[in-house]
Amino acid sequence: MNEKKQASIGQIWNWKITFACALFLVLVSILAISFGPIHLGFIDIVKTLIGMDGLHGQDRTVLLDLRLPRMLLAALVGCALATSGAVYQTVFRNPLADPYLLGAASGAGLGATIAITNSGGDIYGLLPIFSFLGATLAVLTSFFISGKFFAEPNTLLLSGIAVGSFATAVQTYLQQRHSNALRPVYNWILGELTVANWSIVSWSSIYILSSIAVLISISKKLDGLLLSDEESFSLGIDPNRLRLIAVAAATLATATAVSASGLIGFVGIVVPHLVRGVTHRVTNRSLATIALAGAAFLVLADLGARSVLSPAELPIGVITAFVGAPFFLFVLRSRRVTHS
């Protein structure tokens, strides 16, 4: 009798889904590094990666210096944006929250524009650092202005919007003054992974993976933030402390992702809702799965960006919105049907 009862409540999160997502990410990654103007064989790729006699010459360079860092960067950025989006949605109890909510996007945009429009472009190489600083400063300013911190999440959201608008205004002013910078700034805003190299992959992986590790370690507790502060306190959570850790880690991941690849929209909203919609679960135990799904989504989107107009490339942001938006609407609709 007891066994029968247990089966009917079951596990709150089915880890098989996480495992399936990890498997899907591996498949998509292999697909992404083998496809392109030069086709690389699967066996050769594996042999090269494990240090056996595989690819040589140009093929080897294409694999190790172009596709592999690019695929890894796509995975890192996708993972960072999806996880941060999911965390922001929980922290602000707002399904429309995305990682750029507190001004991270506009701050990064302003930082990047300053780097691009700088006379002579001699600080162009510092673009990631400038956009990282811009994003972090914007979020800190939002916090500072809101004053009440988390006591009023809506005040924080509004100050994020104000800081974002201000940064965008300054950015537009700079663009108008330096019209030659319009195109590179525009390209950057649409997001690009073409710049990927091992240096970017290595420094961004440090920040992104450590932020994700922190977020996954607190993921189970994040469910408490779906309740009122009094309720979560009675269940053993200090809600403000938890929010602070969550937003700090999510902002670090987002700022890193933005500085490595520009503004790639939609991932932070689509992927979390997709995972929750398909599994019918809102628990943050799904965070690791959302991270893996985000990585797979962006690797796949990048493959699309490289393939659709091959050998030319589409900005990856176009693909994420073009594929993401209809799919997202489909999930929303089917969820509404099952709810009613």
Partner 1 sequence: MIKVSDLTVKLGGQTILNDIELEIPHGHWTCLVGPNGAGKTTFLKALLGVREYSGSLQDNGVEVFRNHKRNVAFVPQHPEIPRGMTVAEYVALGRSKIEGWGNESAESRSFIEEVLIQTQLYGMHQRHVSQLSGGEMQRALIARALAQEPQLILLDEPTSALDLHHQISVLNNIEILKSRGVTVISTMHDITLAAMYAERIVVMHDGKVLLDGAASDVIHSTELRTAFDNRISVYTLDSGRPVIVAAKDEFEN
- Which of 227, 318, 323, 331 binds partner 1 (CB under 8 A)? It is 227
Site for partner 1 in 95-134 (CB under 8 A): 95
Q: How far apart are CA 274 and CA 281, in angstroms?
A: 11
Q: Which of 47, 194, 223, 248 binds partner 1 (CB under 8 A)?
A: 223
Closest to partner 1 by CB, 41 or 95: 95
The first and second tokens of residue 327, run together, are 């799919």
Q: Does 221 bind partner 1 (CB under 8 A)?
A: yes
Q: Which stretch binds partner 1 (CB under 8 A): 32-40, 100-108, 198-206, 229-237?
A: 229-237
The CB-of-121 to partner 1 minimum distance in angstroms stands at 48
End-to-end CA distance of the chain: 32
Residue with Cβ nearer partner 1 (105 or 242): 242
Alpha helix stretches (DSSP H) within the chain: 2-9, 15-34, 42-49, 57-61, 68-91, 104-117, 127-146, 153-177, 182-190, 198-217, 219-222, 229-234, 239-261, 267-279, 287-307, 316-339
Q: Which range binds partner 1 by CB under 8 A, 3-11, 37-45, 208-216, 300-308? A: 3-11
322 touches partner 1 (CB under 8 A): no
Q: Does 339 bind partner 1 (CB under 8 A)?
A: yes
User: Is residue 5 at the binding interface for partner 1, with CB under 8 A as the rule?
Assistant: yes
| Nearest CA among 264, 230, 254, 267 for reference residue 160 | 254
User: Distance of CA 71 to CAs 110, 197, 267, 281, Å?
Assistant: 27, 10, 16, 29
Name which of 243 and 285 has its Cβ closer to partner 1. 285
The binding site for partner 1 (CB under 8 A) comprises 2, 5-6, 8-10, 12-13, 93, 95, 219-221, 223-224, 226-231, 233-238, 276, 280-283, 285, 339
